[in-house]
Amino acid sequence: GQSLEQPSEVTAVEGAIVQINCTYQTSGFYGLSWYQQHDGGAPTFLSYNALDGLEETGRFSSFLSRSDSYGYLLLQELQMKDSASYFCAPRDNYGQNFVFGPGTRLSVLP
Amino acid sequence: DGGITQSPKYLFRKEGQNVTLSCEQNLNHDAMYWYRQDPGQGLRLIYYSQIVNDFQKGDIAEGYSVSREKKESFPLTVTSAQKNPTAFYLCASSIRTGGTGYTFGSGTRLTVV
């Protein structure tokens, strides 16, 4: 079967660092994507990890451990505009589609 | 600029009516997807298409139908058989099935009145 776990909510202050964890179980595994979605908007692609390790893109980094079925999104130098929902999405082996988690709502406080 | 266009942005449907949501992309992507999102929830896959004239059911296909007659277009019909259609509907595409990530449209918010 498939399962995905993310924290439902995270709160942090401007300028801080926050880590959003994701554990997954899928039918086979190709890689892990992360998306950001502001209220009422469309999800936007942030990153994709196919191999173990850390990928850095500006203030955002994403990590993957295939052996642990675990990944995280690291957001540095938080800004108010980072307040949004963040979804992890592993790509499964069955339909080769991405499976979206329940999302983590990040609130950045001044 | 390339992208995905969904229309309309807001749609109201009476009980018992079928409605069709439009999704058009000019990214030259082969694969297209329809997702449903309920308030505070994640995205659930309704249908996907890997290539023209082919589509597959996702996790919650009951009460929905699609067609893929052109590469650029993947309309979704919400039929009267869908018992709880009020939701936010998102169309997405990728260069091929899976790939590294999806490009999403801006969504259609459907409300049953």
| Contacts with A98 from chain B: Cβ below 8 Å | 98, 101-102
Across all residues in chain B, what is the average pLDDT? 92
B35 interface with A at CB cutoff 8 Å? yes
As given in the structure block, the two tokens for residue A37 are: 């979605």
Closest by Cα among B44, B11, B42, B40 to B112: B11
B5 interface with A at CB cutoff 8 Å? no
Residue in B56, B98, B105 closest to A42 by CB: B105
Q: How far is CA A18 from the centre of its chain?
A: 12
pLDDT band at A35 (very low <50, low <70, confident <90, very high): very high
Length of chain A: 110
Interchain contact, B107 vs A42, CB within 8 Å: yes
Interchain contact, B107 vs A87, CB within 8 Å: no
pLDDT band at A109 (very low <50, low <70, confident <90, very high): very high
Asked if residue A23 has pLDDT above 60, the reply is yes
More confident residue, A96 or A18: A18
Interior/surface letters B15-49, b for 16+ CB within 10 angstroms, e for the rest: eeeebebebbbebebbbbbbbbbeeeebbbbbbbb
What's the confidence (pLDDT) of residue B99? 75
Distance, in Å, from the CA atom of B11 to the CA atom of B5, rounded to the nearest integer, reads 15
Confirm if A46 and A57 have CB atoms less than 8 A apart. Answer: yes
Distance, in Å, from the CA atom of B68 to the CA atom of B6, rounded to the nearest integer, reads 15
Interchain contact, A102 vs B90, CB within 8 Å: no
| Contacts with A102 from chain B: Cβ below 8 Å | 41-42
Distance, in Å, from the CA atom of B61 to the CA atom of B67, rounded to the nearest integer, reads 13
What's the confidence (pLDDT) of residue A24? 94
